[in-house]
Structure 1
Amino acid sequence: MTPADLSRTVLHAVRRAVDEDALRVAVPERVRVERTRPGGSGDYACAVALQLARSAALPAHEVARILKDRIAAAPGIGRVEITGPGFLSLTLDASTDGAARTALVREVAARGTEYGHGTALRGEEPLLPYAAEVRAAVTADAVAALLRSQGAAPRTVATGPADPAWSRLGVTADTAPGHGTAGTAPGHGTTEPAATVRPVPAGAAAAELVERLGPDAARWGLLRAAGHDRAALGDGLLVQSAANPLFLVRYAHARTRALVRSARDLGVHGAPQPHEDAAAYGEPAALALTALLADHPAVLLAAARHRAPDRLARHLEAVAHAFFDFHDACPPLPAGDEKPSAAHRSRTALAEAAGTVLAGGLSLLGVSAPAHV
């Protein structure tokens, strides 16, 4: 069960409570469900009771009590607890959650690098004016890709003269007259005010960055930091070690591809089966990796909505770290005289799903994902 599934489950419980006149509130369009932080209880946490308390004219703890049993009765939910002032702590049913993890891996395989793309922003046509500076240009380009992944039809436009060298970083500049100020895009039907993309400037020109770092490392360096922070554009972006997040992410992707090639040679490559995944995906390292893969669609949507490609970059780093932890704790391939098993097939499928997510995320950032590093 993914966070999106849980969000729908909680919303359904709210609607039931309203229909049964147990709550008198407007049902929200969406509810946020997050992984429980270290030291917390349950698998997921939701603050919907605190969100609804004022409009319901009830204490948040009472709203949580009304929702608790309705959520607990839903398929896939093992236990629901109320913590603090009214947080709902959700624990998944182990058997249902195991099947969900298999379904998740299958979904990633079926959708490929478009896993996580959606239609939540369909019909939106935002204008993205950006400062005539290389970091702003690359950021606007990545934001536009994220928005398109969620169904929007964005338009980017520079607010000043474009640098021809931006094209070496994958940026196609539009500097049509009259499009450099806040407002709406003529002929594009958007109702969203256009706020200029203006991160902290890179302090270097595009040509110099490409010559020194290459387009992939330059784009990563420009996008990884939040817009209000200075971008790290030193030679550390070229270091081949785990201390370099770009290398870590790309190496993790290449390692998953190597595992799949070896699995095919050994005859253990294939989709996981529901009856096989309990042991293969039940280890803590596998649970952590599948949780991050399940969060990927929400990360893409949040990065698009908040115009924050750095969120995706950090998510890819987390996936890469989790993949290596999984690889070490749950080897996908048999070792020595060990015979290939169904567990190896399921683990390889999970590793392949991780690589697919990494490749798709890098593509949205405009960074290549080579099969060999």
Structure 2
Amino acid sequence: MTPAELAEAVLSAAHAVFDARGLDRSALPERTAVERPRNPEHGDYASTLALQLSKRVGVPPRELAADLSEQLGRTPGIKSVEIAGPGFLNIRLDAAAAGLLARSIVEAGPAYGGGTALAGQKINLEFVSANPTGPVHIGGVRWAAVGDALSRLLRASGAEVGTEYYFNDAGSQIDRFARSLLAAAKGEPAPEDGYGGAYIAEIAEQVRAKRPEVATLPDEAAQEVFRVEGVALMFDEIKSSLRGFGVDFDTYFNEKDLHDRGELEHALTRLREQGHVDERDGAVWLRTTDFGDDKDRVLRKSNGEWTYFAADCAYYLDKRERGFDRAVYMLGADHHGYVGRMKAMAACFGDDPQVHLEILIGQLVSLVRDGAPVRMSKRAGTVVTLEDLVDAIGVDAARYALARYSSDSPIDIDVELWTRASRDNPVYYVQYVAARTASVGRNAAEVGLTRGDAEAFRPELLAHEKENELLKALAEFPATVAAAAELREPHRVARYLEELSGAYHRFYDNCRILPRGDEEVTDLHRARLWLNDATRTVIANGLHLLGVSAPERM
């Protein structure tokens, strides 16, 4: 019996009690939840439903708890229900009901952990979106790991998700990039406001090889060639780097397309219709202060040029017109100031900023070696890049390390820790369980031990304390996935996997799965193999949600 199934049983018991007492069913919630007590002696699960309902219906909580306890005690699979304190229900499952979970997990396979909590939601999830003027730096890599994990979690919870990378391929930074490439091609130092690093010289050389005529063109024409070809090459490199990191986007959206298709003018028309646009000193302004912004924002300058904010407005409107209910932006630590203006902008379009727009801010990441920060890339010159991180600790460790912490906390990634083959290394600790469970399966096959027919599975044999502890941990996976998706916190899955790994190690150390020597294979061995394989399933499913492999050997 899973926590969700038990919660349904508690609610069903409450319906029966209300009917028996003639109480108003409208006071009952649509759903309830059960929790694992901190002290295992208090039972397998606890419910506070009697306390929650007491004030609504005017029945003393312990009296209501007594009725719930009696009704719930008739439910198959529940061993006992005790009333504690002012009206808590402490519930114990019988071994068979608890043990059946192992079979359910194995039979569900990759589907175990998924749910429908977010069904019906269509979410646009934009992340990384680095300017195409250099390689993806370590801050962007954090969003690559967290954003991709979040997209997997949202889908596992039933949402329809479109992942998106927004290329800022219009504006002054692209001009500076083009001028930097031209300078490198001519053997000159980078412009004062330009970009440095070996990658600039590499791209300039690639452009010259592809378009040799560029060497004979006037500077203005040559700069345009370097802009078009250089941006395309940088795009390709960024996409290739992210793909090697296990991240592919459903849509790569170019800012330049917004300008070329007249989307900025379209957005301005919509904002005018909503009544939040006016003109001052020849410029066009959006009155975002109408919705709490600290100042109004310019959409078009007095010289006719569009602002970056105008493109932000057009891009948001484009997402909404593509049918997305919610636009989720994942931005870096230097974008805190964007939150107020973006929320106000959504309101100016007539949307509810709390419903249709969501902005997540990620904090800084540092790579540390020998106790000191790694300050720059050999290739990029000024920042640590995705390739630097992967070269240092590998893709799996990088993705796990970046997704393991709440994104609103700065993190240091210690190269020595994340490459260590020991329990101190969190990803090694979890992947070791994946490999160990697979090894148990191989060794079982060699001695002729199989799980056997599902109908012959005897879950009541899984009665050892450590088996019960592992079953409880496995049962928590769906709720963990749902919470991680709802709260946008993939790190919950990583921390859960580490707790589950600890529970498996304790089970493995105390409960022998394989028969010794000439020992006869028993139903207990088979039951424990079901539990071993259920653990393998959950570890693999959880690692998949983080974009990390579940190796069969280490």
Report the TM-score, using the length of structure 2 for normalisation: 0.61
Using the TM superposition, give the Cα deviation of residue 66 of structure 1 relative to its aligned residue in structure 2, in angstroms.
4.0
Counterpart check, 1:199 vs 2:362: yes
Counterpart check, 1:154 vs 2:155: no
Counterpart check, 1:171 vs 2:247: yes
Q: Tell me the equivalent position of 2:436.
A: 255
State the one-letter code of the partner of 1:32.
Answer: A
SS at 1:126 equivalent: strand
State the one-letter code of the partner of 1:342.
Answer: D
118, 126, 134: which one pairs with 2:123?
A: 126
Distance across 2 between alignment mates of 1:150 and 1:34: 20
State the one-letter code of the partner of 2:108.
Answer: R
Instruction: Report the more deviating stretch, 48-57 or 114-123.
Output: 48-57
Quickly say closer, same or farther: Cα 1:79–1:228, change in 2 above 3 A. Answer: same
Distance across 2 between alignment mates of 1:285 and 1:64: 30
SS at 2:42 equivalent: coil
Counterpart check, 1:311 vs 2:492: yes
Say whether the 8 Å CA contact 2:77–2:96 is kept in structure 1.
no
Distance across 2 between alignment mates of 1:109 and 1:304: 23
Using the TM superposition, give the Cα deviation of residue 358 of structure 1 relative to its aligned residue in structure 2, in angstroms.
0.6
State the one-letter code of the partner of 2:79.
Answer: G
Instruction: Report the more deviating stretch, 347-356 or 269-278.
Output: 269-278
Q: Tell me the equivalent position of 2:86.
A: 85
Q: CA RMSD in A?
A: 2.6
Counterpart check, 1:222 vs 2:223: no
Using the TM superposition, give the Cα deviation of residue 21 of structure 1 relative to its aligned residue in structure 2, in angstroms.
4.5
Distance across 2 between alignment mates of 1:129 and 1:158: 6
Counterpart check, 1:135 vs 2:139: no
Using the TM superposition, give the Cα deviation of residue 53 of structure 1 relative to its aligned residue in structure 2, in angstroms.
3.5
Higher Cα radius of gyration: 2
Using the TM superposition, give the Cα deviation of residue 284 of structure 1 relative to its aligned residue in structure 2, in angstroms.
0.7
Q: Could you give the per-residue CA deviations for residues 240-291 of structure 1, whole angstroms, max 9, x where no partner exists?
A: 1111111111111111111111111111112466674433x11111111111
Distance across 1 between alignment mates of 2:411 and 2:242: 17
Using the TM superposition, give the Cα deviation of residue 12 of structure 1 relative to its aligned residue in structure 2, in angstroms.
0.7
What runs of 5+ residues in structure 2 fail to find an aligned partner? 130-139, 169-234, 256-311, 327-354, 367-383
Say whether the 8 Å CA contact 1:136–1:198 is kept in structure 2.
no
Q: Tell me the equivalent position of 1:3.
A: 3
Distance across 1 between alignment mates of 2:457 and 2:400: 40
Quickly say closer, same or farther: Cα 1:201–1:59, change in 2 above 3 A. Answer: farther
Quickly say closer, same or farther: Cα 1:311–1:182, change in 2 above 3 A. Answer: farther
Distance across 2 between alignment mates of 1:127 and 1:53: 42
Say whether the 8 Å CA contact 1:160–1:180 is kept in structure 2.
no
Using the TM superposition, give the Cα deviation of residue 46 of structure 1 relative to its aligned residue in structure 2, in angstroms.
1.2
Quickly say closer, same or farther: Cα 1:139–1:2, change in 2 above 3 A. Answer: same
**Which has more strand, going by share of residues?**
2
Q: Tell me the equivalent position of 1:325.
A: 506
Quickly say closer, same or farther: Cα 1:175–1:47, change in 2 above 3 A. Answer: farther
Using the TM superposition, give the Cα deviation of residue 194 of structure 1 relative to its aligned residue in structure 2, in angstroms.
2.9
Distance across 2 between alignment mates of 1:69 and 1:182: 56
Count of residues paired in the alignment: 368
Report the TM-score, using the length of structure 1 for normalisation: 0.89
Distance across 2 between alignment mates of 1:55 and 1:183: 46
Q: Tell me the equivalent position of 2:96.
A: 98
Q: Tell me the equivalent position of 2:48.
A: 47
SS at 1:233 equivalent: strand
Counterpart check, 1:278 vs 2:479: no
Q: Tell me the equivalent position of 2:210.
A: none
Distance across 2 between alignment mates of 1:347 and 1:20: 42
State the one-letter code of the partner of 2:247.
Answer: V
Say whether the 8 Å CA contact 2:69–2:81 is kept in structure 1.
yes
Distance across 1 between alignment mates of 2:113 and 2:467: 20
Distance across 1 between alignment mates of 2:120 and 2:112: 20
Instruction: Report the more deviating stretch, 4-13 or 343-352.
Output: 343-352
Using the TM superposition, give the Cα deviation of residue 18 of structure 1 relative to its aligned residue in structure 2, in angstroms.
3.2
Instruction: Report the more deviating stretch, 15-24 or 329-338.
Output: 15-24
Say whether the 8 Å CA contact 1:22–1:66 is kept in structure 2.
no
Quickly say closer, same or farther: Cα 1:60–1:189, change in 2 above 3 A. Answer: farther
Quickly say closer, same or farther: Cα 1:274–1:48, change in 2 above 3 A. Answer: farther
State the one-letter code of the partner of 1:98.
Answer: A
SS at 1:78 equivalent: strand
SS at 1:75 equivalent: coil
Say whether the 8 Å CA contact 2:124–2:162 is kept in structure 1.
yes
Instruction: Report the more deviating stretch, 309-318 or 166-175.
Output: 166-175
